[in-house]
Amino acid sequence: MKARVHVMLKTGVLDPQGEAVRHALGALGFDGVEAVRQGKVIELDLAETDRAAAEIAVKAMCEKLLANTVIERYEVELV
């Protein structure tokens, strides 16, 4: 089973990478981009076949390592 984890900064947390991308897009002529939030996607290949157990395991991975839950939020998608 595959799991995809989307990690983004929480609303209100400054995103300097996103701001740099927004500025670069403007410099390249892409006007009208008012804000950019940058995140990451992590794909996991899991041996687990039970969906519920896989989701519990991936959420535990996020809480312990994959996301900084103080400033980031995450969403788990099983595919």
Long-range contacts of 72-76 (CB under 8 A, 24+ apart): 72/7, 72/8, 72/9, 72/10, 72/13, 73/7, 73/8, 73/9, 73/10, 74/5, 74/6, 74/7, 74/8, 75/5, 75/6, 76/3, 76/4, 76/5
pTM higher than 0.75? yes
Q: Class assignment of domain 2-78?
A: alpha beta
Confidence of residue 6 (pLDDT cuts 50, 70, 90): very high
pLDDT tens-digit profile of 19-65?
A: 999 999 999 999 999 999 999 999 999 999 999 999 999 999 999 99
Going by DSSP bridges, is the β-strand pair 72-78/2-9 parallel, antiparallel, or unpaired? Answer: antiparallel
